Amino acid sequence: MAYSEQIVIQQSTEARGTGGAVVPTWTTYKTVWAERQDQNGYKSNESEMPVFTDGISFKIHLYDAPDLTSKMQVSYDSEEWDIIRIEKLGRFHFVIYVEAHDDE
């Protein structure tokens, strides 16, 4: 197992912007070493039509991150990736499934 890729797991927080408005922003939750795995396949959308998706997963080892959730995102290779699923492999081992961030 080669954890050769560094990823940043980010969580959403709120900050005060100009004029005092609350603005959502992403902050670093954890920076970890990971093993990247390509995940190509199909998923369903609202219209029940299968859509090809280009996703990846990261196998990680975390000792002190009990609050890892799919509401977080991963920053990797200068891109943001939405966490779509987290699979627990053991006490400290996880696989994080991500897909490209949708900027609609």
Q: Which CATH number fits the domain that encloses residue 20?
A: 2.40.10.270
Residue 95's nearest CA partner among 103, 104, 85 is: 85
15-19 long-range contacts, CB within 8 A, separation 24+: none
Question: For residue range 68-83, what is the model confidence (pLDDT) as tens digits?
Answer: 899 999 999 899 999 9
**Confidence category of residue 9, pLDDT binned at 50, 70, 90:** very high
Average pLDDT, the chain: 81
**Confidence category of residue 47, pLDDT binned at 50, 70, 90:** low
Question: For residue range 19-35, what is the model confidence (pLDDT) as tens digits?
Answer: 888 888 999 999 999 99
Question: What total number of domains does the chain contain?
Answer: 1
70: left (phi over 0), alpha (psi -120 to 50) or beta: alpha
Domain that holds residue 68: 5-100
Is the pLDDT higher at 47 or at 100? 100
